[in-house]
Structure 1
Amino acid sequence: MTTPGEDQQTKSNPPTRTVRPNLPGPRGGSPGAGAPVVPALQRRPRLPALDGLRLICALAVAGYHYGVSWRLDGIHPPAHFVPHAGHVLIYGFLGVEVFFLISGFVICMSGWGRSPRDFLASRAGRLYPAFWACVLLTAAVVTVLPVTLGVPVSGQPSVTDVAVNLTMLPDLLNVPMVDTVYWTLWVELRFYLFFACLTWTGLTYRRTATFCTAWLVAAVVVPAHSQSLLTDIVMPQWAPYFIAGVTMYLMHRHRPTAWLCALVVACWLLSLQSVHVRVLDVHPGFPVPTWPAPVIITIAYVVLIAIALGATDRLTWRWLTTAGALTYPFYLLHQRIGYSIIRNVHAHTGWPAAPLILGAVVLLLGVSWLVHRFVERPLMPALGSLLRGRRARAA
């Protein structure tokens, strides 16, 4: 998931973050309506705090899956195994919302100054190599260590299922997902297509802000006046997070304006309404208060605004970069493989949930590093260059 599949940002110091030289620098001057496009392969600024926030979100989602959304023995509710942590871990599913918020910011940052072809090539290069590796690893593990009772996902995927999953479109093609966490990727892909259309027009402050405004209005109006197809395109449940992230990047690149602030506030209000409904739909077997969810989402908005306005520019710890690199493969690997490991080890040893959960997290972070080091790093630039074609390679 930005989701967890955001760009690997490149590091630069705050004074040199401006990438369009005839526009005013970040947090100063008036937003420009147009400017020459910078070369597509120019290095992008890096915000290490975003990397750390993404890993926190991935660990939160894993905590929800491991500690709340399944049963260790298929009989007792999750709270029986994590009686004190379960009431906190239940809110970990909100990491998905924060992923989408971060994705809007990072995709706008990585797409600025790129042509549609370069943008889509960079997205494919970023998402697919690690995804292919994780689909195959997950299919192999759940075939060798199947889990078939008391979890949201079960059974062994067929060869056809695996092949279709490798396209990243099983949801669209109505094929069972190898791991149900892939549903967020279909949401991300629709956002990428939206943004690719925007890059085709040429990214400027005014065009991007207008795009965000129009999408937000559609997210409010469409659910009440349209059929499911248009609703699927507009994504009213998730649109406020992407729109808010894009808007915050405009604040970061230029400066806060009344227009941008109004957009963020409107997105925040819609997010609070949406997340309230999300909590009501969660039924873990124990009471779940709704009030922590809007608090968590509000904190996420505040943190990302702080990052956008430069409050975290001094955070340059190298481990944050590593954290960001692990997030995407860890998110893709953690659920079904984690279920299989925890459940099978418990069945053979009787070990309690807490050390099994911790061990699964540590193990899968290690596997995620291997996927990043030996799959993403060599294949990501190669696939991106291949999709850009000769013109991009010559550049």
Structure 2
Amino acid sequence: MQQQKDKVIFANQLRAIAIIAVMIIHLCGIYWRARGTVSAYIFAPEIEGPASGLLGWLSPPTVNYGPFGVAIFFLISGFVIPFSLSKLSPIEFLVARVFRIYPTYLIGSAVMLLCIWFSSLYWGKEFSINTNNLLLNLALIHTNIFVKTIDLVNWTLSIEIKFYLISAILYSSIRKANPLPIILLAVGTLCFTEWYPEAKSVIHFTSFNLSIESIKAELMVVCFMFIGTFFYFHFFEKITTLELVLYSSILLLLVLLCWTHNAWASGIPGVPRNYIYGLSVFVTAYALRKHFRLFTPLDFIAKISYPLYITHSLIGYSIMRVAMDNSLPYFAALLIAISIIVAISYTLHITVENKSIEIGKKLIEKIRSKNSKTELEGRQASLSF
């Protein structure tokens, strides 16, 4: 058991690498390169002056830390989610995921909204967020109905939710380490992407419009995430190395074919290229998994990676913008922002994230106890009959 835990250290530490990559692009890149967007989201005037060269110094040619880090996050989810499926029923799994995702996201979003409200007071701007849009964001169903994000990062959580639902549907196949239904899902996604009529890309309902193009793109990403699941199959020796390479290559090819005919096509070649970079890092780490050891800085960042992901962008922008308005240089503002974000994230981790996971576990135990009692009563009734 300990040997198995040691081998999975690689996945945990990749989480830290992924969140660091995402924070680099947001706090060192988007902060400067998308000034209008940043100012609109934190209710502040646009930052003036020359941009910092930190991102250019940190970035190798063709590397975009945003899709690179997100790709690693997606692959880690694909790899670790089957661990939960192996121990839980589909309903129990979905209950566990709800308590894993939503409480921390809701409280983290509340902290973020409070922070940008203070930002609006500081800058003397009106704080205005559409209540309906806010609720749809908090439910993580905004991406498919033309509602813009409130925090610039929750679109990935919306995809995660769909991955959980599809994983629950494919529960039996994943438990049996059967790659065929996953491949068929990708083939079906490609057919849907290629042949669904463009003229019907928006379906109109009474109170909202459904974006079929967003569904195509998100299904494509879900298929990409299942590459991580194939590595889970290999990890437990359910498939051979040759089968791993074959199935993963087929899935990646189908994903890339989907990419050319959906809403994300405009990001070619930069975004898919960085997803491949993320996959390359994941594959390398997996191949070297026996050599990974506990490393306190990375392990700590990995531990708080989820609340850090939720809070870092708009809270970071708000703090940096106010700090620089008070004559602090960019690097000092960046360090202050990171320190505060880490402190907030750690607090959320110990007060909300851990507690909500425990509540989810207790609820699952109650569900199991109730089901066992019902099953026992049913057996006793049949025996008495």
The TM-score by the shorter chain falls in which range? 0.7 to 0.9
Contact 1:145 1:340 in 2 (8 A): yes
Cα offsets for 1:26-61 (capped at 9, x unmatched): xxxxxxxxxxxxxxxxxx887222222112211211
Sort the Cα spacing of 1:168 and 1:76 in 2 relative to 1 into closer, same or farther, 3 A: same
Cα offsets for 1:159-217 (capped at 9, x unmatched): 555444332333346555331211111111111110011115672022xx112211222
Cross-structure match for 1:220: 190
Contact 2:186 2:220 in 1 (8 A): no
Letter in 2 for 1:371: L
Letter in 1 for 2:327: G
Shift of 1:331: 0.5
Sort the Cα spacing of 1:387 and 1:113 in 2 relative to 1 into closer, same or farther, 3 A: closer
Shift of 1:313: 5.2
What CA distance in whole angstroms lies between the structure 2 residues aligned with 1:165 and 1:235? 16
Sort the Cα spacing of 1:219 and 1:164 in 2 relative to 1 into closer, same or farther, 3 A: closer
Contact 2:162 2:222 in 1 (8 A): no
Does structure 1 residue 362 correspond to structure 2 residue 339? yes
Shift of 1:134: 0.4
Return the match for 1:381 from 339, 358, 362.
358
Contact 2:22 2:65 in 1 (8 A): yes
Does structure 1 residue 261 correspond to structure 2 residue 254? no
Return the match for 1:93 from 59, 66, 71.
66
Map residues 1-395 of structure 1 onto 2, 5 A cutoff: 12-14=1-3, 17=4, 47-71=8-32, 74=46, 80-86=50-56, 88-89=58-59, 91-94=64-67, 95-146=69-120, 156-158=128-130, 160-172=132-144, 175-199=147-171, 203-206=175-178, 209-227=179-197, 228=201, 229=212, 232=215, 235-254=218-237, 255-269=239-253, 274=259, 281=267, 294=273, 297-309=275-287, 311-312=289-290, 314-347=292-325, 349-386=326-363, 389-391=366-368
What CA distance in whole angstroms lies between the structure 2 residues aligned with 1:178 and 1:392? 40
SS of corresponding position for 2:88: coil
What CA distance in whole angstroms lies between the structure 2 residues aligned with 1:148 and 1:126? 34
Q: Which sections of structure 1, spanning at least 5 residues, go unmatched?
A: 1-11, 18-43, 283-289
SS of corresponding position for 1:168: coil
What CA distance in whole angstroms lies between the structure 2 residues aligned with 1:359 and 1:271? 40
TM-score (norm 1): 0.73
What CA distance in whole angstroms lies between the structure 2 residues aligned with 1:87 and 1:147? 35
Contact 1:51 1:323 in 2 (8 A): no
Shift of 1:252: 0.8
What CA distance in whole angstroms lies between the structure 2 residues aligned with 1:172 and 1:394? 36
What CA distance in whole angstroms lies between the structure 1 residues aligned with 2:256 and 2:30? 23
Letter in 1 for 2:14: L
Contact 1:223 1:236 in 2 (8 A): no
Cross-structure match for 1:287: none
Shift of 1:231: 6.9
Q: CA RMSD in A?
A: 3.5
Contact 1:54 1:327 in 2 (8 A): yes
Q: Larger C-alpha radius of gyration, 1 or 2?
A: 2
What CA distance in whole angstroms lies between the structure 1 residues aligned with 2:169 and 2:264? 30
Percent identity reads 21
216-225 or 82-91, which moves further after superposition? Answer: 82-91
What CA distance in whole angstroms lies between the structure 2 residues aligned with 1:176 and 1:291? 23
Contact 1:117 1:388 in 2 (8 A): no
